[in-house]
Amino acid sequence: MSSRLRIFGSPISTYYNKIKIALIELDLPFEEVPFMPGAGHWPESGSPSGKIPFLHTAEGKLYESQAIIEYLEDIRPQASVSLFPGNPIERARCRELIQYIELYLDAAARPVYPAAFWGAQLNQDVLAAALENLEKGLRTLGRRADLEHWLCGEHYTHADAAAWVHLSAIRRTLNIVGEKDFLDRHLPALSGYMDRAAQRPSTQRIEADRRAAGRALKEQQTTAQGN
Ligand SMILES: N[C@@H](CCC(=O)N[C@@H](CS)C(=O)NCC(=O)O)C(=O)O
């Protein structure tokens, strides 16, 4: 069991929230340390890649959200319920779904984020490529995920945490760039699934923190522009 876990990053980050959901669901006490990417070269960058999130533990530092998730599972309190299914083939399928979500959906949408969230000009070619890749990613996920329940079946897993953080960010992005119905058109069962995931206390906590951090960031930017 760990004595002290410190997660570095920001509640506006999808990968940070994937880990934060795991910490909450696995009942692991943790501390949040605000850290934005772009802090310079390693080691000032906080992580070797310069990306957030990363985790400091009493035993050492860890980078990359999936490696961190696996570590949290290894140290979780015995009384907590694992967020991986019990049997090996289902556990592997859960990891497979996380790969689909991160490699084929998050990575597909990311080129549009600067226009959606950071004030950059929207490039129509970039948007068209993102939509084409997202369509393929949604088709792939839909073939393997159980959208009528939790993605891996009866129980909530890390795949559901990954689905919420990335797909809700993709949904916000598509709304901003005028593609509001894209997800429903290409994966109709997703909407009911997302409504169900939104009810979960861990989802509600990360969403409240994300909105508060987003507001604080906007205020900071407005103040900086005024100076
Ligand atoms: N593969 C990494 C991805 C982390 C990632 O992309 N983080 C974003 C924030 S959500 C970031 O730091 N972006 C800034 C950058 O790429 O410089 C993980 O799983 O932890």
Claim to verify: residue 117 and residue 68 sit in the same structural domain: no
pLDDT digits (tens, 9 = 90+) for 19-29: 999 999 999 99
Claim to verify: residue 186 and residue 138 sit in the same structural domain: yes
Given this model, what pLDDT does residue 227 score? 67
Indicate which residue's Cα is closest to atom 9 of ligand 1.
13
- The answer to whether position 225 is within a domain reads no
pLDDT digits (tens, 9 = 90+) for 8-56: 999 999 999 999 999 999 999 999 999 999 889 999 999 999 999 999 9
Domain count, the chain: 2
Q: Show the domain range for 119.
A: 88-218
User: What's the average model confidence in pLDDT over 197-220?
Assistant: 96
* pTM listed for this prediction: 0.96
Q: What angle do CA 34, 40, 43 make, to 5 degrees?
A: 80
- Distance in Å, CA 78 to ligand 1 centroid: 30
CATH of the domain at 26: 3.40.30.10
- Distance in Å, CA 82 to ligand 1 centroid: 25
Phi then psi dihedrals of residue 110, to 5 deg? -55, -40
**DSSP-assigned states of every residue in 25-37:** HTT---EEEE--S
